[in-house]
Structure 1
């Protein structure tokens, strides 16, 4: 099977409040997206890398790829308004190829490690759909419509989602095919699409890492600088 890492970088980073999308901000002298691409570039189980980016920033990604010498980046695609549009762009780019796995990863999670990717690739080799998550250390409240506590789910069954999320191209293509026929379909992460539209497809959990943070707010940049030094 051909394992393709799909780096989802279509966001514009409005919550960060920066003049550039957050994936282009720098940690330890390199852009966040460069850190993320580099991790998959180094992994021997990754055959190819595809970057999905807003059309305004294609040239920026091309420059980063050229300067860093990322030989595995074979496609740079334009995303859309929603995260699901970026996933669909990658699915469309690979749907005619045989025996392809798509490994979707947020460009702004630059600290995913080789061990996590090892586990994801191993699960894919067994024909599994895969999500990365870590156990919740906090009690979670489920609220009702008036913002009062309705229930307290058992913490043993609660995990916090990270990325990558990985599927055979055939599986994720089928899930989105069904989703797009649903007039009530709302953008979700890829696991949510598979869970809703292919409910018989088990999604296996690979344990993530507390360091595999998502750079969302300005204060996360400082956390990232500290993680680089570890």
Structure 2
């Protein structure tokens, strides 16, 4: 890292991506000639709001990831670090590495499986940390939502409709002042029941006094999970390359 005033983007690419049905980790899926990992990292490489990039990946795939990132010529890569078994283990590993490298003022944690995050989202997440401890990126829910109950016959039945006006889908990057996220994970380490699928929830649970901002995500900030997502992402990537701008929708980058 370059110094305590920097913003570091942590790209979590440690999963095996079995739901994508590719036979290999989805971060190596090829989208219009470039890997998903490369396209995701490129978003932070281009952003003036980010100073360094730390990539977390499964230990067995470090050499491959390093080769891809080196061939891409990224200048902001601060390291490729072994990820953990769970997502939260990878975040812990990233925090340890950042601390060992001298710390940072702000940290963004982003899923490698979101290769089209607009620069507007990155800039607003970093900017919100000027006067907040953390920032959550969310997108409105457009589908009708229901809770379900056991139907007594081995299946499920609808229980009640959820008021979607108060519900949001969480996207990444999530942003944090580095000491805040580090302290939340320090406290979580002492909890034998600790479970987390995202990092803002860790801060909310262990540092309830933290000031957390909410900013608007973007429909283009899709997460590549299943085979259909890979196909859609490939088409989007091809279109972006065709236009040569890297812009999504009405965004100007």
* TM-score of the aligned structures, taking structure 1 as reference length: 0.94
Give the SS at the match of 2:170.
strand
CA distance in 1, matches of 2:113, 2:45: 16
* CA drift at 1:98: 4.5
Question: Mean Cα displacement is larger for which, 97-106 or 213-222?
Answer: 97-106
Q: Tell me if the contact between 1:94 and 1:100 (Cα under 8 Å) persists in the aligned partners.
A: no
* CA drift at 1:183: 1.3
- Does residue 129 (structure 1) correspond to residue 134 (structure 2)? The answer is yes
Residue of structure 1 in register with 2:107 after alignment: 102
Residue of structure 1 in register with 2:172 after alignment: 163
Deviations 1:83-141 (A, max 9, x none): 00110001111235354211000111001011111111111223441111101112222
- Does residue 18 (structure 1) correspond to residue 36 (structure 2)? The answer is no
2:162 to 131, 144, 153: 153
What stretches of structure 2 of length at least 5 have no aligned partner? 241-253
Count of residue correspondences: 230
What stretches of structure 1 of length at least 5 have no aligned partner? none
- Does residue 188 (structure 1) correspond to residue 197 (structure 2)? The answer is yes
Q: Tell me if the contact between 2:108 and 2:176 (Cα under 8 Å) persists in the aligned partners.
A: yes
Q: How does 1:180-219 map to 2 (within 5 A)?
A: 180-219=189-228
Deviations 1:17-41 (A, max 9, x none): 2222001011010000000000100
Change (3 A) 1:36 1:183: same
Structure with the greater alpha carbon radius of gyration: 2
* CA drift at 1:149: 4.5
